[in-house]
Amino acid sequence: MKAFSLDQQTLETLLERARQARAHAYAPYSKYCVGAALLCEGGEIFAACNVENASFGLTICAERNAVAMAVAHGNTRFLAVVIITDDEKPATPCGACRQVLGEFARDLTVVVANLTGQIIRYKLADLIPYPFSGGA
């Protein structure tokens, strides 16, 4: 399969969608707001934010919310995800989100960004080289 290359215009669209979703983050406990925008093979984008809960362990990360939305709309083939936080250095996705993203796209392009415009690109396989795969 041809390697996917994220063009500048699509990146900007994903950044904007992630920013918009982040603005809706429900994070009254940590105050740490996250937005994620997931690009699917057909061009559709699903954006989501983190949703916390008074029972802290029930919190759902932005990335996993975006995956759930995409799957619920019939998409399981992902090309790129953009994650935005208000950190000095853009934050990479947590281990649980890496595992969940990897269920669908081992070679996913992962772009992390902050509000000042700093951007770092990774490949998911570099962020989680040995995912759990049921022993396969």
Cβ 131 to ligand THU shortest distance, Å:
15
Q: Which residue in the set 32, 77, 106, 132 belongs to the binding site for ligand THU (CB under 6 A)?
A: 32
> Interface mask (CB under 6 A) for ligand THU, residues 55-84, using x and -?
----x-xxx---------------------
Structure token pair of residue 82: 């953009």
Order the strands of the 78-85 sheet from edge to edge: 45-49, 35-40, 78-85, 109-114, 119-123
Cβ 73 to ligand THU shortest distance, Å:
20
Tell me: does residue 34 bind ligand THU (CB under 6 A).
yes
Task: Using CB atoms within 10 Å of the CB of residue 43, give its burial: 0 to 12 exposed, 13 to 18 middle, 19+ buried.
Answer: exposed
Cβ 50 to ligand THU shortest distance, Å:
3
Task: Tell me which residues touch ligand THU (CB under 6 A).
Answer: 27, 30, 32, 34, 50, 52, 59, 61-63, 93-94, 97
Catalytic residue ranges: 63
